[in-house]
Chain A
Amino acid sequence: MSWSIIIGILSSGIRLATPYLYAAVGETIGQLSGVVNLGVDGVMLMGAYIAFFVALSTGSLSLGLIAAAGMGAIFGLIMAFISVTLKAEQGISGIGLYLFGLGLSTFLFGITIRNVQTIDGFPDLAIPGLSRIPVIGEIFFQHNILVYVAFALIPIAWFLLNKTPFGLRVRAVGQNPEAADSLGVNVGRVRYLTVTLGGMLSGVAGASLSIALLNTFQQNLTNGMGFIAVALVYFGGWRPVLVFAGALLFSTVNALQIWLQVAGINVPSDVALMLPYIVTILVLAAMAKRRVNAPAALNKRFERGES
């Protein structure tokens, strides 16, 4: 196993992990406040589409990114409205949101852009100085800006959730909304904020695909990534750092199985493709003894006055 192969696999793993990081961190914040949003994949697709469309039409990648964040926020708002105000069943509404995002993005793509094509997305940005470090530099510091931001999200999310009053309110609302409500916390408003924020991050996750990593848009571009991101939230026990570890683990093993096939190593392609999922399950099983505290009010509707 030469160094260049290891570097290649880890570098690939980081790239593959980027959309999962955005989406999973967003979902973590929403889930910590008690709302499950299974529509992440649909929001990612809408974010990917609008980023690509705006970047293609205006030539500005930044504008595309902002459009994706905005679109994601709108979809987050829709989910918040359905779950918090209308108090609908969160799982089903999430799936509905997914189908809506999938269908709408496909439809809009079909009538606005029509033909599959590529654009010049965010270029790779070598961080001066750090990128020169042998091995580490190549693995970590030669990616595009959206990859760097995804990594920066982890400490930011940790700080937000654990060290700010807002984070405290989020976790309180997710654990015991009745108690929080009695102490004057506006449960509905907190949930609206978290779910909208989560949607915004999912939109950016989609943009990271269409205008940074893959530089294209196509029907069902995400191919189910959003659901893996939701699973990663559970895997990480609702802690951003562990969610990050899970995303990296899954993506690095995925990069490894690609390399196995490319190198012609005699692993049947079906087995190679299963590897990321099998490894993730094994790790989860090994970690089963640790205490995982799901937010107690997760997936439950909140009504003032109901006990």
Chain B
Amino acid sequence: MNKVLAGFVLVALIISSMAIIGLADTFKVAFVTPSTINDSAWSQSMYDALVTIQNEMGKDNFQFVYSENMFVISDAAAAIRDYASQGYNLVIAHGSQYGGSLVDIAPDFPNTAFAWGSTANTFSDQGITNIFSYQPYSEQGGYVNGVLAAKLSETGMMGVIGPIETGDAKRYTEGFEAGVMATNPDAKVSVTWTGSYSDVSLSAETARTMIKAGADVLTGTSQMVIGAIGVAKKEGAIWFGYDVDQAPLAPQIVVSSVIVDWTVALRPMIAAIQSGTMGGKVYDLTLANGGLKIAVNAEGLVGKTIQGIINGDIVVGE
């Protein structure tokens, strides 16, 4: 009886160790983010990228879990530390407010790689070697949107609705203003910061106020812009999107959206981790390397272009 039992245990051990070895090849990612993954903005873009990578690498080779709504930094820090101690290969702290937490946590887990953004700071000056960072050059996408905006605006006034004047929201806004001014020096760009990433009500009222003041082109960042998009849709103003393709939200009025394709950062990052580099690199997302893409909504742009030609604002052949 003992021998049968011992044989049984031995076989079980062999099988389970094979399974563990098999699992050891799976690249496991944990993703901590301040808003929900279906926010049509910041979090959704990273979630979509992770899904894309999973489809590319296959579910056996790549798995990820996420903790959304981690707006409160201490909650996020607890989640990050938890994931690191569970043996995840990469923990993505998707928000520039998480930097301080990573400085505390990363040194305790030298075999885990951490990543955060948008920022260029990997804390290597503090001797930390397992933190990556990523930064979208949002001003590039903003510039393209700005050029298009200036060309399509009939009143020459545009409005930008931003959350808090920092990070990629700030860069996008500056790029947008630059693009508008380069195309039409007489144009006016009105920038309003609502002070919150989630105040939908305030973004809607801001959009209304801007339209009343004469703006016929609006743009903005963060998940609260759904309020502004709703107002733009009702009043017939044009919208330029950021983070994800916002055309599905209002197909008639969205001209183009700057899409951040995080896979351009994630692929080399995963490769680096698998070859032993746990941090210290900054991954830029630009138009040049495909990290930033402009998604043009044919339904919106075409309609607006035709209107411009009819009105004489766009002179063909100029």
Residues of B within 8 A of A263 (CB): 190, 213
The minimal Cβ–Cβ distance linking A126 to chain B, given in whole angstroms, is: 15
Q: Is the CB of B202 within 8 A of A258?
A: yes
State in angstroms the CA–CA spacing of A218 and B226 once bound together: 9
Chain B positions 120 through 138: 1 when the CB is less than 8 Å from some CB of chain A, otherwise 0 = 0000000000000000000
State in angstroms the CA–CA spacing of A255 and B194 once bound together: 12
State in angstroms the CA–CA spacing of A8 and B207 once bound together: 12
Select one of A116, A255, A270 contacting B223, CB under 8 A: A116
Chain B positions 174 through 192: 1 when the CB is less than 8 Å from some CB of chain A, otherwise 0 = 0000000000000000111
Residues of B within 8 A of A258 (CB): 192, 202, 205-206, 209
Q: Is the CB of B249 within 8 A of A116?
A: yes
Q: Which residue of chain A lies nearest to B36 when distances are taken between CB atoms in the complex?
A: A219
A115 touches B (CB below 8 Å): yes
The minimal Cβ–Cβ distance linking B259 to chain A, given in whole angstroms, is: 16
- For B, the interface residue count at a CB cutoff of 8 angstroms equals 39
Q: Is the CB of A214 within 8 A of B39?
A: no
Q: Is the CB of A221 within 8 A of B212?
A: no
State in angstroms the CA–CA spacing of A115 and B210 once bound together: 27
Residues of A within 8 A of B191 (CB): 261
B7 touches A (CB below 8 Å): no
Select one of A117, A261, A270 contacting B249, CB under 8 A: A117
Q: Which residue of chain B lies nearest to A225 when distances are taken between CB atoms in the complex?
A: B201
Select one of B36, B230, B233 contacting A106, CB under 8 A: B36
State in angstroms the CA–CA spacing of A4 and B198 once bound together: 29
Q: Which residue of chain A lies nearest to B199 when distances are taken between CB atoms in the complex?
A: A223
Q: Is the CB of B192 within 8 A of A221?
A: no
Chain A positions 114 through 133: 1 when the CB is less than 8 Å from some CB of chain B, otherwise 0 = 11111000000000000000
Chain B positions 218 through 251: 1 when the CB is less than 8 Å from some CB of chain A, otherwise 0 = 0000011011011001100000000000001110
Q: Is the CB of A218 within 8 A of B200?
A: yes
Q: Which residue of chain B lies nearest to A113 when distances are taken between CB atoms in the complex?
A: B38
State in angstroms the CA–CA spacing of A262 and B195 once bound together: 14
Q: Is the CB of B192 within 8 A of A269?
A: yes
Residues of B within 8 A of A264 (CB): 190
A12 touches B (CB below 8 Å): yes
Residues of A within 8 A of B202 (CB): 254, 258
Q: Is the CB of A118 within 8 A of B233?
A: yes
State in angstroms the CA–CA spacing of A215 and B226 once bound together: 9
The minimal Cβ–Cβ distance linking A280 to chain B, given in whole angstroms, is: 16
Chain A positions 128 through 167: 1 when the CB is less than 8 Å from some CB of chain B, otherwise 0 = 0000000000000000000000000000000000000000
The minimal Cβ–Cβ distance linking A260 to chain B, given in whole angstroms, is: 9
- For A, the interface residue count at a CB cutoff of 8 angstroms equals 35
Select one of A16, A214, A219, A273 contacting B195, CB under 8 A: A273
Q: Is the CB of A110 within 8 A of B38?
A: yes
Considering the complex, which residues of chain B in the window 147-162 have a beta carbon less than 8 Å from any beta carbon of chain A?
A: 159
Select one of B39, B194, B201 contacting A116, CB under 8 A: B39
**Cβ-Cβ contact count across A and B, 8 Å cutoff:** 101
State in angstroms the CA–CA spacing of A4 and B212 once bound together: 9
B35 touches A (CB below 8 Å): yes
B286 touches A (CB below 8 Å): no
A233 touches B (CB below 8 Å): no
Q: A219-B39, A223-B199, A223-B201 are in contact. Are A118 and B190 (CB under 8 A)?
A: no
Select one of B40, B204, B209, B223 contacting A214, CB under 8 A: B204
Q: Is the CB of B192 within 8 A of A261?
A: yes
State in angstroms the CA–CA spacing of A220 and B248 once bound together: 22
Residues of A within 8 A of B165 (CB): 269
Residues of B within 8 A of A19 (CB): 201
Residues of B within 8 A of A4 (CB): 212
Q: Is the CB of A15 within 8 A of B35?
A: no
The minimal Cβ–Cβ distance linking A213 to chain B, given in whole angstroms, is: 7
B16 touches A (CB below 8 Å): no
State in angstroms the CA–CA spacing of A254 and B36 once bound together: 27
A194 touches B (CB below 8 Å): no
A259 touches B (CB below 8 Å): yes
Q: Which residue of chain B lies nearest to A263 when distances are taken between CB atoms in the complex?
A: B213
B193 touches A (CB below 8 Å): yes
Q: Which residue of chain B lies nearest to A210 when distances are taken between CB atoms in the complex?
A: B200
The minimal Cβ–Cβ distance linking A212 to chain B, given in whole angstroms, is: 11
Q: Is the CB of A255 within 8 A of B205?
A: yes
The minimal Cβ–Cβ distance linking A194 to chain B, given in whole angstroms, is: 27
Q: Is the CB of A116 within 8 A of B195?
A: no
Residues of A within 8 A of B81 (CB): none
Q: Is the CB of B195 within 8 A of A270?
A: yes
B208 touches A (CB below 8 Å): yes
State in angstroms the CA–CA spacing of A174 and B278 once bound together: 63
Q: Is the CB of B250 within 8 A of A118?
A: yes
Q: A214-B201, A219-B69, A269-B165 are in contact. Are A116 and B192 (CB under 8 A)?
A: no
A175 touches B (CB below 8 Å): no
A202 touches B (CB below 8 Å): no
Residues of B within 8 A of A83 (CB): none
Interface residues of B (CB under 8 A from A): 35-36, 38-40, 69, 159, 165, 190-196, 198-202, 204-206, 208-210, 212-213, 223-224, 226-227, 229-230, 233-234, 248-250
Q: A12-B205, A219-B39 are in contact. List 19 more A-B contacts (CB 8 A).
A: A15-B205, A19-B201, A214-B227, A215-B230, A216-B227, A216-B230, A218-B198, A218-B200, A219-B198, A223-B198, A223-B199, A258-B209, A259-B213, A262-B192, A262-B209, A263-B213, A269-B165, A270-B195, A273-B194
Write 21 A-B pairs (CB below 8 A) sorted by A numbering: A8-B212, A12-B205, A106-B69, A214-B200, A214-B227, A214-B230, A216-B200, A216-B227, A218-B198, A219-B35, A219-B39, A219-B69, A219-B198, A258-B206, A261-B190, A261-B191, A261-B206, A262-B190, A262-B206, A263-B190, A273-B194
